Amino acid sequence: MTEIVRNKSLRYLNTFGIDVKSSRYAEFRNIEELRKIFEYQEENNLNWYPLSGGSNTLFTRDYKGIIIHPLCSDITTRTENEFIYVKADAGTLWDNLVFFSIEHNLWGIENLYGIPGYVGSSPIQNIGAYGVEAKDCIYSVDFYDKKKNGIVTLLANDCNFGYRDSIFKKELKGKGIIISVTYRLSIKENPRLDYGDLKNEVENKGKITIKNIADSVISIRNSKLPDPNVLGNSGSFFKNPLLNIQEAVKLKNKYPEVPLYPHGDKVKVAAGWLIEKAGWKGYRKGDCGVHDRQALVLVNHGNSSGEEIKKLAEEIISDINTKFNINIETEVNIL
């Protein structure tokens, strides 16, 4: 049986660097190991939580249960016409998958380069950046269903993808663990350059290539976002709120400079702009604060507790509601 570790420190398993412990911790490389972990979990009546890259979790206290961490990281492909179906295990670093796609000139996820975390988390949050979301390329998700004691394959249409949302955050939350994700990528060039400064950045590099797009994304991200290996953070802590047309027009009339982006029948507002406008950018109290270059990012300057970061997030949410009558929500799971 896979090893069950007691009182495991999670400090280096979450990108905030919060110093907490889990009463139990186990890793799996295959389905059999995962089954044995769940048998142990049920026999001991333990709470459980899947933790991959730890880039979307804020721990506010020690975890009383078992943390389950994927180590499986294979990438396989199959070809069908102009599409390449790339299947990556849940424990694959997200950037390793994106780099694989760039190396093989497979279009679709190059705008998502630089997002911290593992492949297994990408459908849960429906990760997105620079005009692209994971759902745009996801073909299917292999999900280990605890009740069925086996793998269920969900096609993209079964996943109920929304803005930073999916079935894995709702109906299937706590019902099992994602084992692998298959992305449908294309050998045909399909640049997506209509978001923010990306087009200008790519043009400055010369030719529009998949590598130049990915390099441009990294350049922009590095200019705005702190490296979690240097400064504890989880990337964007808050979701960009969605407004209806009337609400967006009213906001634009009052603040002509506010960044707005079409999103289906809604309009997406830049939460970072709202937070900066409210005066929070660069704020610091003790070791927790708001990043001085990107107000969407909450940071741990060293020894902040998760509870302190949570309290700061609540203060920001309340202030934005008071000043703009807009509700912003967290992207990060708070435990």
Active site residues: 164, 236, 331
Long-range (24+ apart) CB contacts under 8 A made by 298-301 are 298/233, 298/234, 298/237, 299/226, 299/231, 299/232, 299/233, 300/16, 300/17, 300/18, 300/231, 300/232, 300/233, 301/231, 301/232
Specify the pairing of strand 132-133 against strand 128-129: antiparallel
Phi/psi of residue 196, nearest 5 degrees: 60, -135
Tokens of 96: 């390793």
Long-range (24+ apart) CB contacts under 8 A made by 294-299 are 294/224, 294/225, 294/226, 296/236, 296/237, 296/238, 296/271, 296/272, 297/225, 297/226, 297/233, 297/234, 297/235, 297/236, 297/237, 298/233, 298/234, 298/237, 299/226, 299/231, 299/232, 299/233
User: Residue 295, Cα to own-chain centre: how many angstroms?
Assistant: 17
What count of residues does the chain have?
A: 335
